[in-house]
Amino acid sequence: MSAVDYLTGQLLIAMPAMGDPRFSKGVIYMCVHNEEGAMGLVVNKLADGLGFADLLDQLNIETLDVAPSLPIHFGGPVETGRGFVLHSSDYVRDGTIDVGGGVSLTATIDILQDIAEGSGPEKFFLALGYAGWGAGQLDGEIQQNAWLHVPADPDLTFGPDIDSKWGRAIAKIGVDLTLLSGDAGHA
């Protein structure tokens, strides 16, 4: 793939025949995609039974007020004990990575404290774990018809309606779900 073909800042959309149940009907925001591999965060699946207050307790983060009730996402199957915050680029601290397109990624405890105290980024979501691919692995999966991709937008990335994100991402491409197949085409 050339640099213009890399999917950093885009959304990956699992095809209906996705064989891996962890990614079934998954939508993944691509934080990095280059010749060395790829890393993204699933934006439409929640971590089972864990809320923001629970996370703060586990990390011994004390807040001045009652912590807001926020969902924690299942970011992917790699390093599920590691947390990430994908957010609008209005928040920048040491360790913040500019993904591009007005989106940044921070994986420090400081951002959790700031969110709890109401001084975090305007838009964000919290995730445990990430989706990762080695060099060329994602490119191969795309060629095998496992994924579609679409430009990200704030609603699909940060919006609260998790259950409809996969269908809305597919619709953004203009694809009729009934016509999608898991089989790669051959000439």
CB 141 within 8 A of CB 135: no
Residue 186 maps to a domain:
no
Distance CA 9, CA 121 (A): 18
What whole-number distance in Å separates Cα of residue 163 and Cα of residue 165? 6
The pLDDT score that the predictor gives to residue 122 is 94
Q: Look at residue 69 and tell me if it is in a domain.
A: yes
Report how many domains make up the chain: 1
Q: Would you say residue 128 lies in a domain?
A: yes
3-state secondary structure of 75: coil
CATH number at residue 92: 3.40.1740.10
Mean pLDDT for all residues in the chain: 87
| Spatial CA neighbour of 166 closest among 28, 21, 20, 4 | 28
Of residues 159 and 66, the one with the higher pLDDT is 159
% of the chain residues with pLDDT over 90 = 60
pLDDT higher at 117 or 27: 27
Determine which of 1-5, 13-17, 143-147 has the lowest per-residue pLDDT on average.
Answer: 1-5
Which pTM does this prediction carry?
0.88
User: How far from chain centre, in Å, is Cα 167?
Assistant: 16
Number of alpha carbons in the 13 Å side-chain half-sphere of residue 185: 3
Domain of residue 142, residue span: 3-179
Domain membership of residue 132 (yes or no) is: yes
Domain assignment present for residue 68? The answer is: yes
Give the other-Cβ count within 10 Å of 74's Cβ. 22
